[in-house]
Structure 1
């Protein structure tokens, strides 16, 4: 089983996972994908404690990065291959799915692309509570384009943290009650919206659960099954 949910922010929005764990019988052969802002990789001094609630789960936790991750720590893990794409293996059952990769999981092809914009970065401190690596680089975008081309630009699912700029115009999508503004990360995702064919595109970031269209879904507290 492959499940997906929105931001967890370490333990701040962990309750949905705790509830899932008490209601479903899941094993290491099952997967939960977090659509960015995993947030448990934040402080080097409390890393083991922050990861522990996820590490003790009986299933495999996969996450893409959002804008609220400590990229100094995250990028210190060695890059390895897993199910066809580049990853950081954080713990045995906690894996970071890197940007611009296509993974084959249980017969499904999944394109991943993390990153987002911290709209409150003006009150954050670089390398303490904000990292410029939250914004996708040209190299990461190009890698995503190349990897998609290997699949003839067709995948089953796309999972990102933010969304493409056109999706922001949907009235169902808002951020803390305000209309969403397009940033550099949204325009970066336009590259993939323009070339990719897919069944569903899931994203987090906006703290709302909403079906945007037939093939676009925003997630926060909801947990969906990829099928």
Structure 2
């Protein structure tokens, strides 16, 4: 399958680069993990932006919103014509004004008729973002199994802030937290404090949420 990361100029290299063998030095694995983390972070942000755009343009009240924008368009065109009349001393007849607004209405009706196709196109982008996020996160898990997870178990108990400091602040706390959820669900780690599911929050908000509680989020190994 072609790499999903060729979409929208992601900074990471091809997502289908070979995952390293178990013998690769942990530092090199961490470098690859940072690359995938940056890509996953951007995929999350883009997915949320597209979802918000779909709700804004194609939500339950979208028809009313489209009509309001058309009304705003009439006002903007009318104001532009008034400015041109004052600046260039143009003199348009009533029929010319009417023709201009009819053309504007025809354009709006055309856009409104294409609304369904535009919504489908946006949904395709959302689906691609979702697939990209899942693929990247799965690769992060594979890389974490040879780098992050062994270190967390070896240094257990360790707080989220200590883990971030140990990694020199090169990873977002929300990325580390989401990766460690796999170990928690598998029963190999225990997290003392339960928080809001940060994986569904916008990346920036997830990091803010975790920064406030990072000292109290402690992971304990059960191995």
Give TM-score scaled by structure 2 length: 0.28
More strand by share: 1
Q: Which has the higher helix share?
A: 2
Instruction: Please tell me whether Structure 1 or Structure 2 has the larger radius of gyration of its CA atoms.
Output: 2
Q: Greater relative contact order: 1 or 2 (C-alpha under 8 angstroms, separation 6 or more)?
A: 2
TM-score (norm 1): 0.28
